[in-house]
Amino acid sequence: MPQIPLLRAAAHGVMAMPLVLLLWGWAELLAWNPGSRMLTAEPVAYTHNALGLAALRALLASLSCTPLRRLTGWGGVMALRRLFGLWAFAYGAMHLLFFLFAELDWSLPALAAETAKRPFILAGMVAFLAMAPLAATSTAAAIRWLGARRWQALHRLAYVAGVAACVHFLLRVKGFQWEPWLYLGGLALLLLVRLVPRGRRALRTS
Amino acid sequence: MHVRRTPSWALPEREVTPEALYLNRRAVLAAMAAVGASPAAASTDPEKLARIATRRTHDAGEPPTPLADVAGYNNFYEFGLDKGDPARNAGTLRPSPWTVRVGGLVKSPLTLDVDRYIARAPWEERIYRFRCVEGWSMVIPWVGVPFASLVRAVEPLGSAKYVAFRTLADREQMPGLRLPVLDWPYREGLRLDEAMHELTLLAVGVYGRRLPNQNGAPIRLVVPWKYGFKSVKSIVAIDFVETQPETSWNMATPREYGFYANVNPNVDHPRWSQARERRIGEFRRRETLLFNGYPEVAGLYAGMDLKRFF
């Protein structure tokens, strides 16, 4: 299908957007416009939040591929699942590294202490650690090595990552806010769709 | 003999607008808007607000945070949750005319007319540190008078132990009230001795001009040794009461936001450390100071366990 490479390029473009904007904002701030408010008055906090949100969105995008295929019957969307997943891991890693750098001065003991002390950081760490083996086994060679069945079982960790990431967001906000609940609701929908028996596909393959 | 001296900025009873007429003002304003005469047009642009003459009485000794940040990076959930939302959305607030009802356990309740008050009180400029509970801070040149001067004008009764403050809650002027983030109206409170402290400021301006709407126009409290959420904005009612009043953030999450909310690097917020803060405009965090660097208030809490009464 000739439209697939185009689709993948477009998806990469969308996924890269938050990073490009952040890099542009920092370049502007540091290089030629110290008064820039592109990253708000608190660029460190803004960057941290933007990276986390980008990770969560990419993860949800990845988790929506299977339900989309079921709904539309179009398999082309599966060409994007790994791409979204790898972007989610990349943003999650940047989110964590930025936290380590800007808040903890690269101190791993401090990270361990924060993780033990604060449930919302623990949830974030769970999300990141659940994604790490998925990123590591994202190649075709890894699928062959693990065998399709075991690979698929391992990659159900994506659900754990999704739930943990939403909980991380939910526990972070002040007061009652709808936004994290919307993400959690979206995730619940994506997971519930998977429980519906696959009637149509069975029909088509028979 | 008790001689009652009414301050010049107190609205005499005969001039206090009955609420029905006051609310009818909306119809008048709607008509004004229809002909393009929006009274709030300039109220979010700090450069266009009326100047107030002041004399400087306090200086934090640190460079003030730029006005663009003071008036562009705000927590004022009545206008949205994003820090930029208040500056974007608060144009709908109508800070003039504005009255504050001051009453409760006092000998001389009064209704304060803010425009008259601004025209007559001896305004001071006080440059205070401002520390948000979220971990960022600013240095802000406020225009205000000691809150104690208002307390003296209303003469609290001996039974008055606390002061309760209430922010306007008008869905028409405040789009954020549609969100259930807090139990509106926004409420705050102080112990009477805290309210009487020389540092506690009743503020009507920043940077020598009237308050921009997003900063809590037309009149707000500033309590520099407490986290920012204690410095209640756009006040419509002040009540002197006998028992500790309910306060909004404490009602929402009592485990995280105490009644006292004194800036204290040794008492963490359950979800983040309060040991350090990021001054707006700086990259690295700096140490947070006990009572936000105002040790003169320590006497108010002598003998109190600040971890328990956080």
In B, minimum Cα distance to A114 occurs at B272
For residue B24, what pLDDT band results from cuts at 50, 70 and 90?
low
Give how far B292 is from chain A: nearest CA, Å: 20
Closest Cβ opposite residue A37 in set B72, B136, B271: B72
Closest Cβ opposite residue A42 in set B252, B271, B280: B280
Size of the A and B interface in Cβ pairs below 8 Å: 50
For residue B236, what pLDDT band results from cuts at 50, 70 and 90?
very high
Closest Cβ opposite residue A44 in set B84, B182, B278: B278
Inside any domain, residue B212 = yes
Position A47 scores a pLDDT of: 97
Summarize pLDDT for B73-108 with one digit per residue, the tens.
999 999 999 999 999 999 999 999 999 999 999 999
| Least confident span in A53-67, B19-33, B245-259 | B19-33
Give yes or no for residue B229 having a pLDDT over 80. Answer: yes
Inside any domain, residue B29 = no
Position B120 scores a pLDDT of: 86
Q: Does A14 touch chain B (CB under 8 A)?
A: no
Q: Does B272 touch chain A (CB under 8 A)?
A: yes
Higher-confidence position of B69 and B23: B69
Q: Could you tell me the CATH number of the domain that includes residue B147? A: 3.90.420.10
**Average pLDDT over chain B, rounded to whole?**
91
Please indicate whether, in this complex, the C-beta atoms of B136 and A45 are within 8 angstroms of each other.
yes
For residue B259, what pLDDT band results from cuts at 50, 70 and 90?
very high
Summarize pLDDT for A82-116 with one digit per residue, the tens.
999 999 999 999 999 999 999 999 999 999 999 99
Inside any domain, residue B152 = yes
Domain residue limits, chain A: 3-196
What's the one-letter identity of residue B175?
P
Per DSSP, the residues of B227-269 read -GGGS--SEEEEEEESSPPP-HHHHH-TTT--SS-B--TTS-B
Position B92 scores a pLDDT of: 96
> Which of A120, A83, A121 lies closest to A100 in space, CA to CA?
A121
Position B7 scores a pLDDT of: 75
Position B66 scores a pLDDT of: 96
Q: What residues are paired with B111 via a beta bridge?
A: B11, B101
In A, minimum Cα distance to B75 occurs at A174
Q: Does A132 touch chain B (CB under 8 A)?
A: no
User: Which residues fall within 8 angstroms of residue B107, CB to CB, at 6 or more apart?
Assistant: B2, B4, B154, B155, B156, B157
Position B3 scores a pLDDT of: 60
- In contact, B7 and B109? CB cutoff 8 Å: no
Please indicate whether, in this complex, the C-beta atoms of A177 and B81 are within 8 angstroms of each other.
yes
How far apart CA B102 and CA B239 sit, in angstroms, is 6
A132-161: average pLDDT = 95
Position B220 scores a pLDDT of: 98
- Using a CB-CB cut-off of 8 Å, the residues of chain A touching B271 are 118, 120, 171-172
Q: Does A107 touch chain B (CB under 8 A)?
A: no
At B70, is the secondary structure helix, strand, or coil? helix
- Using a CB-CB cut-off of 8 Å, the residues of chain B touching A45 are 136, 278
User: Which residues fall within 8 angstroms of residue B8, CB to CB, at 6 or more apart?
Assistant: B116, B120
How far apart CA A51 and CA A43 sit, in angstroms, is 12
Burial B254-291 (b: 16+ CB within 10 A, else e): eebbbbbbbbbeebebebbbbeebbbbbeeebeebbbb
Position B13 scores a pLDDT of: 66
For residue A205, what pLDDT band results from cuts at 50, 70 and 90?
very low
As a dihedral over the C-alpha atoms of residue B184, residue B185, residue B186, residue B188, rounded to 10 degrees, the angle is: -130
Inside any domain, residue B257 = yes
Mutation target for A interface from B131, B181, B183: give the one with most A CBs within 10 A: B181
Q: What residues are paired with B55 via a beta bridge?
A: B124
Higher-confidence position of B268 and A196: B268
Summarize pLDDT for B182-204 with one digit per residue, the tens.
999 999 999 999 999 999 999 99
List the domain range (segments joined by +) for residue B114. Answer: 57-301
Inside any domain, residue B26 = no
The number of domains in chain B is: 1
B148-169: average pLDDT = 98
How far apart CA A88 and CA A82 sit, in angstroms, is 10
For residue B35, what pLDDT band results from cuts at 50, 70 and 90?
very low
Inside any domain, residue B211 = yes
Give yes or no for residue B40 having a pLDDT over 60. Answer: no
